[in-house]
Chain A
């Protein structure tokens, strides 16, 4: 599905990512973990075109996407959530989810201004799909609220609804449960499992190890911009390099 080959990103002279290579297989949940500052969000931003990689290549369904602008990558079927929520606070919850269907809402400004019957029909269909997505995340009773007044947990779920409503082929989630309590985390975990069962491919950046171990099929570990390990959750958990990255170098004195 997604294949990264030797992706590098420098900020000025400072390398943030050095030769990161791994694959995200179709229909699986891949978790990307690593200590703070390891370059996880930078990598997500490079994949989605928010930043452009300094060198290396990113193949999506066999097609090179590195260097393409964000909107073009989104139209290929990659959707994402953001680490710090990026909802549109003044738009209603329903409109927020509807923006997730931008790619299907038509691009022609002239057609939009004429609002021919086919367009009204399509608008109704899109609205139904957005309501359905809100229902999946238990938000239908709040669809007319401005997104800005929602509680934090609800905002996270609106963002998930917005990212999944367009049935993307690949879903990139940047810390979907950051700041949620245990119960809410559990619920989001179940929803992610549900997405996996529905055939979505997920790439997940997460600090919550319980969640990662529970739902990931494959774990990739980044440290200081380098990919230091990849494998099943069990393999990664036993990998000495990973322990070192997280806990610091074990001195052989004790």
Chain B
């Protein structure tokens, strides 16, 4: 018979993912009661948006073992898509968001099919090029996007008469979406499909020999991550009601990749951690504001030198290897 304590430990270990998600949800539900400073909430809201992009990107980089330096493009297409369809053409925001996500998914599919034949540096260059193209279009197509001066007058999201127009309301909206993304990603990586992706990231030949359709899997995850970035972009547009091409350049893309790498490749929780850390850092230490790219670069180099799998994944791996080695010695 198991003692009550053993049962409790067994229950926790069996449901650890569900329990962690529930705890996080509870903490986020209560957070605005404790913290009502709009500035602080604005920062945590930005973490939510970044986390959503980073989750998708981490599925692509960490789990599938590919690289994309162009995800800010999908983020921007989502934001401008929602902005133009609602403010210019008067579409209702929710269906617009869905429609834009579908279209961005289609774009990702169209460019994914040819460029995912590439790998490594070539794939990085191709995605970077795509980001450049999208960024230039956003800058140059004045009559549609407002050009360098940006696009304003985007409506808030709402349900009936209720409108998500202040930080507390946006907090619930954005974190609701992010938690949904987190849960779906956690489910994905804990399934047979997710194991196939993890296998693909480590050894493509072996994964194919085990029945993983490597080409399709890469494209599917690429499209999925683009759709997630697009939804995050739409939320970004409706949250700030103003967007400009600056937010969707290649430096945003590299920041997203840095968040993935710092948080941890192939770690869903690491995505949350990486997005949180890199969004908070410039706020916590004022000097970062000016030297943001410089500091991000240093962090990236340090992480890649000492924990190439990223902070969370690297540390978890280290502990697991240590434990296993100790048991191996003991035998």
Contacts and interface: CB of A to CB of B under 8 A. Distances in A.
A79 B209 contact: yes
B324 A145 contact: yes
A72 B209 CA distance: 9
| Interface SS of B by simple majority | helix
A50 B187 contact: no
16 contacts: A69-B208, A69-B213, A71-B213, A71-B214, A88-B206, A89-B202, A100-B210, A101-B192, A102-B192, A102-B195, A105-B196, A106-B191, A109-B193, A123-B191, A145-B320, A151-B328
A70 B209 contact: yes
A69 B325 CA distance: 38
B220 A109 contact: yes
A71 B211 contact: yes
Given A91-B202, A149-B325, A105 B209 contact: no
Interface in B70-113: none
B192 A105 contact: yes
B293 interface: no
A75 B199 CA distance: 16
Nearest 8 A/B pairs, CB to CB: A105-B192, A112-B191, A70-B208, A86-B206, A145-B324, A115-B187, A74-B211, A88-B202
A92 B188 CA distance: 18
A113 to B, nearest CB: 4
| Interface SS of A by simple majority | helix
Interface of A: 48-50, 69-72, 74-75, 79-80, 82, 86-92, 95, 98-109, 112-115, 119, 122-123, 126, 142, 144-146, 148-149, 151, 162
A249 B309 CA distance: 54
Contacts of A91: 195, 198-199, 202
B317 A102 contact: no
B208 A102 contact: no
Contacts of A71: 208-214
A119 B191 contact: yes
A21 to B, nearest CB: 24
Interface in B199-235: 199, 202-203, 205-214, 220-221, 224
A122 B190 CA distance: 12
Given A146-B320, A146-B321, A146-B324, A106 B193 contact: yes
Nearest to A50: B205
A99 B317 contact: no
A115 B192 CA distance: 11
Interface string B175-198: 000000000110110111111101
A155 to B, nearest CB: 13
A88 B213 CA distance: 17
Contacts of A105: 191-193, 195-196
Nearest to B206: A86
